[in-house]
Amino acid sequence: MRVLAAVDGSRGSLLAAEYGALLAATVGGQLLLTHVLEGLPSPRTRLLPADLSPERRQVAEDVLALAQSQVSWFTGPVETRILAGEPAEVILAEAEAESCDLLTMGSRGLGGGALVRLLVGSVALRVLGGDPPPVLLASETIADPARRPELRSLLVPTDGSRASFAAAEFAATVAQAANVRVLLLHCEESLVPEGFAALALSEEERARLAAGQESLGRRILHTTQAPFLRRRLAVDLMETRGTPAATILTVAKETNASLIVMGSYGAGESWLKRQRLGSVAEGVLAGAHCPVVVCKRPLP
């Protein structure tokens, strides 16, 4: 696994880099620590001393040195790189050029406007709006300098979308290497009418709707199980009803999940949401107590 860790000195980006190093160590792989200097020309170019002032170079080198100190326990190959340009574009281009299997970033309020942009971060959202490999995002609010990251369990929400199947493939790879517990979760918002609307249906019709919804949920869970079964891995299955983002966050806390691994969009999301970030993923990223790996495209 080749991991590109984009660091900017924030606690979130450093924690994300640590988790990236942990995954690389678990699966076997390399770590590429990068810092992007914004507002300079020549995107995706490794800068030479003549390209920028000594002060700016020193700042970049200090950020990378701090990141290296955070992952000093990692025994695999580590490379550092200073890049220049628009951060999201540069990170995406570097990940593609280096054939990276995972990106890590901090999620924090760097942008203005919408609440999710404030909570997740504008650079992270622009990266997710491109065509990235799986992206691990960690909020600075969950960073604890006294605690080293560990992999105990994975929570994998699924709704039958291609993105959630990609997330299951990634989670299965990690679970096989780390020998950790996995919980597959399917949360469906109830299709059975409630309140006055329920009066239009007989008891039998409501029961038939509920049974059909449960049957669909089971099929989605069993289909998502496929990459784990191929690896002969046991997984726990949970089917529930409620508001998906809130339910995912609650289950993650109750099970003390180390990572949430999910698709970037849902099965019923619009084309625009599929190109950017779905509403459920937005809600989870904004409130997660642990890092979140967001998968958008099928794995090779």
Rounded distance, CA 60 to CA 34, Å? 9
Residue 115 has pLDDT above 50, yes or no: no
Q: What is the pLDDT of residue 140?
A: 80
DSSP class of 48: P
Q: What is the pLDDT of residue 143?
A: 61
Q: How far is CA 7 from CA 16, 79, 83, 91, 164, in A?
A: 9, 13, 11, 11, 27
Torsion of CA 94, 75, 107, 62, to 10 degrees: -80
Burial of 218-238, coded b for 16+ CB within 10 Å and e otherwise, reads eebbeebbebbeeeebebebb
- When mean pLDDT is compared over 62-66, 142-146, 268-272, the highest value belongs to 62-66
Tell me the residue type at 230: R
Residue 238 has pLDDT above 60, yes or no: yes
Residue 42 tokens read as 């020549």
Q: How many CB atoms lie within 10 A of CB 145?
A: 9
Q: What is the pLDDT of residue 9?
A: 92
Tell me the residue type at 24: A
Rounded distance, CA 143 to CA 15, Å? 6
The 3-state DSSP class for residue 66 equals helix
**Percent above pLDDT 90 for the chain:** 55
Rounded distance, CA 53 to CA 35, Å? 16
Torsion of CA 274, 277, 279, 283, to 10 degrees: 150
Contacts of 300 (CB under 8 A, 6+ apart): none
- Domains, the chain: 2-142 (3.40.50.620), 153-295 (3.40.50.620)
Q: What is the pLDDT of residue 48?
A: 47
Residue 203 has pLDDT above 90, yes or no: no
Residue 86 has pLDDT above 60, yes or no: yes
Max CA separation in the chain (angstroms):
77
The arithmetic mean of pLDDT across residues 181-186, rounded, is 96
Sign for the pseudo-dihedral over CA of 92, 158, 150, 121:
positive
E runs forming strands in 196-284: 236-241, 259-263
Kindly report the backbone phi and psi dihedral angles of residue 44, in degrees, each rounded to the nearest multiple of 5, phi listed first.
Answer: 60, 35
